[in-house]
Amino acid sequence: MRFKKLLLCAALSAFPLLALAEYVEPANMSDDNGSYDESYGGPDTENYNSSYQFEDSLTLQDSLWDRVRDGFNMPDIDSTYTNKHEQWYASRPDYVSRMLERSKKYLYHIVVEVEKRGMPTEIALLPMIESGFNPKALSTSKASGIWQFIPSTGKDFGLKQNYWKDSRKDVTAATQAALNYLQKLYTMFGAWDLALAAYNAGEGTVARAIERNRQLGLPTDYQHLSLPDETRNYVPKLQAIKNIIFRPENYGLTLNEIPNKPYFTTVQAPNKIDAKLAAELAGISLEEFNALNPSFTRPVLITENSYQKLLLPTWAASNFTNNLSGYNRPLSNWHSYQPKRGERLGAIASQFGISIYELSATNNLKPNRNLIVRRPLLVPASVQSGLTRPIDVAAMAQLPIEIPVERESSSKSSAISHKVKQGDTLAKLAKRYGISSKQIMQQNHLKSKNLAVGQVLQLEKQESNSSSSGQSRSSKSSANTSHKRTSASSKKQSSAQSSSHKKTSTSHSKKTK
């Protein structure tokens, strides 16, 4: 490593004017106030297109890990806490491997953003202890995304959350917000370990701990503060990750190399397009598309603006642009549907030829065919005129992220999955599960009675309550259950607030001022 640096310095000193001439200042990704263009949930990346259009000594390295190591600048913490976490990671090579594999998509972008702010590159590793670099990670305190913002702190830092998008999961927007927050905390406390502690426990918790020590005449650095256990482990856990990245062989681990170049770029897309179609036009899997665009919460990507921006692998951007220009069919197969009074979810699913499970997942509902909702639903565009209407983006954006159920019928349904075996027929399954062959066909949208071995069928048997007293018991039970949930939720919320939004060991929430 040291030899590489000497060669690099010699090369740059020989061509100083050339090096200066080729340097292009990267475009500022945020507005003057640190906000971002909420029309697509992330900062405007058009001007630099994730290639950052500049080269310096760091970008000339082949390995992103070397670049990260060269940027380490936080004081090391040697403690029993650090040793404990080193052993934990070293004993779980499969977990570490999966985490590092996920990081390949995002780490280059984060490292560049960290360097642009003059921050130590240890900060770029923070998502490893926050979320394991899982952009869809959701903690029990509802912290979400690779940086694990709780809803309130996300809103404080401009991360839009509505029916269509949750920008806490937007990799570029959430990275900007997290770095803004960390810089604010560093300015407040003057040390990165204290800033990290405040990122985990809230600035109020750390400020009070400092004041207590000050009044007692005790040191006020991180290691001498009385902090919650999770926060006491937080910085040592990052130190453990840093040590592993710096010398993986010391822990019996191997780091697969990550190229020191952008993994993704941005493309301009129409203001309404199905996620599945966008992935097909780019020539990538839907799984890969969702990993780069996890902030979209519906199968249709939609905005009130004239266009929106998507992240795609660098090699797939031209595929998308070229294929989109020649595509002359509808870009979305989803419309809005206003349920009729008393209309059940199961009937709506049958009407639009969609499974109860897909309809429920699309609209964040429980897969119960007897649920009755009165809010608009996203449904497949109907071939029958007048059943659906174009999506009202603004109106649906005002809907709760999870659509509440207005009421539930007194009958219950028990849903099971059945994998078709040799010799299974509709008649046999109908007899076995106490439902009709017609119901099986309707529930699974079968066009013929022929079944294929290995096919998975969803079977729902309706169980009506036999008497009014039974209905009363059911209602009472539901009410009690609802009350318990409410009480538990209130207690959980109160507990979360008193412990500064503590989360699981791998997901840490952020407390507001």
Q: What does the angle CA 216 – CA 83 – CA 214 come to, to the nearest 5 degrees? A: 10
Q: Extract the tokens encoding 483.
A: 């009350």
Question: Where do the H-state alpha helices sit in 71-122?
Answer: 80-90, 93-103, 107-116
**In whole angstroms, what is the distance from residue 375 CA to residue 348 CA?**
13
What CA dihedral angle connects 365, 366, 370 and 372, to 10 degrees? -30
- Is residue 130 annotated as part of the catalytic site, yes or no? yes
Strand partners, 301: 273
Rounded to whole angstroms, what are the CA distances from 176 to 37, 39, 137, 298?
A: 12, 16, 18, 24
CA–CA separation, 474 vs 480, rounded Å? 10
Rounded Cα gap, residues 408 and 207, in angstroms: 48
Nearest C-alpha neighbor of 451 from the set 421, 488, 493, 496: 421
CB neighbourhood size of 94 (10 A): 7
Give the end-to-end CA distance of the chain in Å, rounded to a whole number. Answer: 42
Rounded to 10°, the helix 203-216/192-201 angle is 120
**Nearest residue to 311 (alpha-carbon basis) of 173, 216, 431:** 173
E runs forming strands in 189-315: 264-274, 300-313
Q: What is the DSSP letter of 405?
A: P
Indicate the residue type of 176: Q
Alpha carbon distance 124, 173 (integer Å)? 15
Question: What is the spatial distance between Cα 106 and Cα 134, in angstroms, rounded to a whole number?
Answer: 10
**What is the 3-state secondary structure of 171-222?**
HHHHHHHHHHHHHHHHHHHCCHHHHHHHHHHCHHHHHHHHHHHHHHCCCCCH
Residue among 86, 113, 122, 130 flagged as catalytic: 130
CA distance 361 to 374: 17
Spatial distance between the Cα atoms of 66 and 62, rounded to a whole number of angstroms: 8
User: Residue 166 pairs with which residues in a beta bridge?
Assistant: 161
Cα distances from 512 to residues 300, 470, 509, in angstroms, run 32, 47, 10
501's torsion region: left (phi>0), alpha (psi -120 to 50) or beta? left
Which residues are annotated as catalytic? 130
